[in-house]
Amino acid sequence: MKTEPAPQESVELAALGKTMVGPVNQMPPVYRHGDFYFGLMICSELTDVKLHEHFRGNVDAFFCLEWNKDINTFSSIVESTAQTIHAFAIQVNNRQYGDSRIRGPYKLEYQRDVVRIRGGNHDYFAAGDIKVKDLRNFQKKSHADRGKNDVFKPIPSGFQANRYIRLLLSK
């Protein structure tokens, strides 16, 4: 659910004498597929920290669909958002600009990008495994139980899993 136009979309709509009408200040839904919880953002919505807060503790992963040539800026945002939401980030950009990936809040740098693709001449897809159960098991540990051998970075300050995910964490 797109809630507002991206900056360039605003310019193009204004040139047509149009505006975007849609839900205002409405948070996007959290989807559930079996025991997997995920959210969806569209391009510039990734820059909205209110959405980060909305998804933190409520999703195992979030998808960000893009048609974005500013891959360097969005690369930094995806990297930090995977950590602040403490979930897997699935960034899907078009092949013209590239930088599609699955990013996890892993402690070791070389593990963080599970899959990363930049550019190409043909449409194709790549698949990678996200270890949702491992992430949840890490998130349910107390601070005292965490150590140098942990796979994930520490959970961010103020992180709390929602009640549905807490039920899954207790299994």
Q: What is the CATH number of the domain that holds 100?
A: 3.60.110.10
The pLDDT confidence band at residue 151, using thresholds 50, 70 and 90, is very high
CA atoms of 27 and 51, how far apart (whole Å): 7
Strand pairing report for 100-103 and 113-117? antiparallel
Asked whether residue 18 is assigned to any structural domain, the reply reads no
Q: For all residues of the chain together, what is the average pLDDT?
A: 85
* Weakest mean pLDDT among 6-15, 16-25, 46-55, 94-103: 16-25
Q: Where are the alpha helices (DSSP H) in the chain?
A: 7-15, 49-55, 71-85, 109-112, 132-140, 163-169
Domain that holds residue 52: 27-169
Asked whether residue 22 is assigned to any structural domain, the reply reads no
pLDDT beyond 90 at 164: no
CA atoms of 56 and 42, how far apart (whole Å): 17
Q: What are phi and psi of 24, to 5 degrees?
A: -110, 135
Distance of CA 15 to CAs 12, 25, 78, 115, Å?
A: 5, 25, 31, 39
Strand pairing report for 36-42 and 61-65? parallel
Total count of domains within the chain: 1
Asked whether residue 148 is assigned to any structural domain, the reply reads yes
Asked whether residue 12 is assigned to any structural domain, the reply reads no
Beta strands in the chain (DSSP E): 31-33, 36-42, 61-65, 88-92, 100-103, 113-117
Q: Taking residues 39-55, report their average pLDDT.
A: 90
